[in-house]
A and B are shown apart, each in its own frame.
Chain A
Amino acid sequence: MSENSSNNEYWSANMRIIKISLVIWALVSFGFGILLRPLLSGIPVGGTDLGFWFAQQGSILVFLGLIFFYAWRMNQLDREHGVDEE
């Protein structure tokens, strides 16, 4: 495989991971935290509902998970495609 097509493959794999991560990012904050909160109102959490929990705690925890997942997955991908730093 030529270096160029391998690089293209690496880039499209990266874009795929970014897209999935950003969908989750938007889902927990704009989704569960704001727009979809009425749908989650049936799930009680400590005197309020799950949407409130996502807006003030949950989204932040998911953001943390996303960044660490991305770092781990990309460093793995760098090695698979031989583009990691020596």
Chain B
Amino acid sequence: MDQFTINLLFVGGSFALYIGIAIWARAGSTSEFYAAGRGVHPVTNGMATAADWMSAASFISMAGLIAFTGYDNSSFLMGWTGGYVLLALLLAPYLRKFGKFTVSEFIGDRFYSQTARIVAVVCLIVASTTYVIGQMTGVGVAFGRFLEVDNTTGLLIGACVVFAYAVFGGMKGVTYTQVAQYCVLITAYTIPAIFISLQLTGNPIPGLGLFGNDVASGVPLLAKLDQVVTELGFASYTAHHANTLNMVLFTLSLMIGTAGLPHVIMRFFTVPKVSDARWSAGWTLVFIALLYLTAPAVGAMARLNITEMMWPNGGINGGAVAVEQIENDSKYDWMSTWQKTGLLDWEDKNGDGKIQYYNDKNADLQAVAAEKGWEGNELTKFNRDILVLANPEIANLPSWVIGLVAAGGLAAALSTAAGLLLAISSAVSHDLIKGAYNPNISEKGELLSARIAMAVAIVVATYLGLNPPGFAAQTVALAFGLAAASIFPALMMGIFTKVNSRGAVAGMIAGISVTLIYIFLHKGWLFIPGTNSFTDADPLLGPIKSTSFGAIGAMVNFTVAYFVSKASDPIPTEIEELVQSVRIPRGAAAAQDH
């Protein structure tokens, strides 16, 4: 059986499983859609939330970004897990006590203002749309590889599947489907990692293998990796090269963005009790950590494998891999397969029949190149987003593992993309059109506007996904910055301070505006390529890249809200009572009935 058939079996099989569970779980519970959610155990809820949250960015993209940068990209690891601490300590229990179903409802009620609610909804739509663009990038990579077509065709086919998946809808809401998706996703991520960790270090736990010894050479894996990459003129893997201020702000931005994402927060509204909301956040992080503790090992080990494949005869002095070997040796099949997607490419520039992979911007290596007659790096293209999907092929793992990873990558990208589209469409139809513009809209009209919003969102995301503002995880990081600058400060001030309606509205508008403007200045207006005035290589404000600006946006939000609130009327007594009541767990069961 060839690889394509095996991939098809795994992908098809996993989809049949999700649909089967959706149908089985739906049978008795349609009428008690939300109530059923409240009966879910914190462990199950944690698993479902983890599946909901871990998207193409975590699964497909993140390890690749770590692999090619090393320590400096640890921000993704700390940022996307540290946010759960904020969520568990500062938001989840109080929002559960408040007892409604959406983030914008809380903001509207707490700040006793329709304007606040609408501003929150607009912020949610902006952040979620950016998030979907990142997902579409990942969907394009996964479908391109899986169907063995180029990236653009993959993206267009993927967009149709995501749209169908989202319209099919209800599936997303069923907790047990997400539990199944989590199981597929985590198995697909960890199995190849365990195999590779065993091959390289003899340790079955990738997170421990990362700090173990490389079996082949007997030196620590990371020391070996440092030596191999610096020999080729690349920055060492373990050292700190990036700007420290930017790294801190980027990490902070991802953390507060995580705690400001509506589709994650919503999960904590629906557990049975306040105490369960606290446990649920912990269990969610347990299931997320299984992937996040593995990802840095996946990145480092893949980098070592790739580098050694390009220099198979013991480093630079042994000579580079021959073109003939890439074309004929089955160990190198993955390179030809990925070349078809247009995301990987090589070119024998100096015509010596070999492919030299090195950093041609490094002065020392330029000297070596001049001496040896190399004419630049010949591994001309290696898209970071392909690393995780290509990893089992690179390590020469059995074909069923490759099929499993394809299924896992698609599960991660599709579930989150579809969930976000549902969130966008309900925000437009329910919160904006029905809630503010036309309260008398018929149910049919509401449904139609939801479908139109979803279609518009996917067309926009697909168009921008063709020329994405960055690799999947980088685009998603921008979305987190936007959530960090708008939603998280509003929620936190709603619980911990007596900031009033004007303060909150002014804060959210200021926070999201400065962040959005800063991002557009660097990534192009509305992400249209070529319309940017700055680049992240040389940002407007010193070292602060657009992906890190969310933390600054959040500070602007807090500051503006504080001063505007001071200058206007204090909050009414009944809102003060509401603030007091969300702080005390007792009575949560009653709160959910209102």
Contacts and interface: CB of A to CB of B under 8 A. Distances in A.
Interface residues of A, number: 42
Contacts of B286: 64
Interface in A60-86: 60-61, 63-64, 66-68, 70-71, 74-75, 78, 82-86
B586 interface: yes
A7 B584 contact: yes
Most buried by A among B210, B244, B286, B580: B210
Given A75-B275, A85-B273, A67 B221 contact: no
Contact of B74 (A11, A46, A56, A67): A56
Interface in A21-59: 21-22, 25, 29-30, 33-35, 37, 45-49, 52-53, 55-57, 59
Interface string A1-25: 0000001001100100010011001
Given A34-B244, A46-B210, A71-B279, A59 B81 contact: yes
B238 interface: yes
A47 B221 contact: yes
Contacts of A47: 211, 219-226, 238
B145 interface: no
Q: How large is the interface on B (under 10, 10 to 19, 20 to 34, 35 or more residues)?
A: 35 or more
Given A25-B82, A84-B275, 11 more contacts: A22-B89, A25-B85, A46-B220, A47-B221, A52-B71, A59-B77, A63-B85, A66-B89, A68-B279, A71-B281, A71-B282
B313 to A, nearest CB: 24
A71 B88 contact: yes
A55 B71 contact: yes
Nearest to B42: A71
Given A55-B77, A85-B273, A68 B82 contact: no
Query: A interface, by DSSP: helix, strand, loop or mixed?
Result: helix
Contacts of B260: none
A70 B89 contact: yes
Given A21-B89, A67-B88, A67-B285, A55 B248 contact: no
Nearest to B81: A60
Contacts of A83: 584-586
A19 B304 CA distance: 41
Nearest to A65: B282
Contacts of A14: 583
B74 A48 contact: no
A71 B278 contact: yes
A34 B251 contact: yes
Shortest 3 CB-CB distances between A and B: which pairs? A47-B220, A46-B211, A47-B222
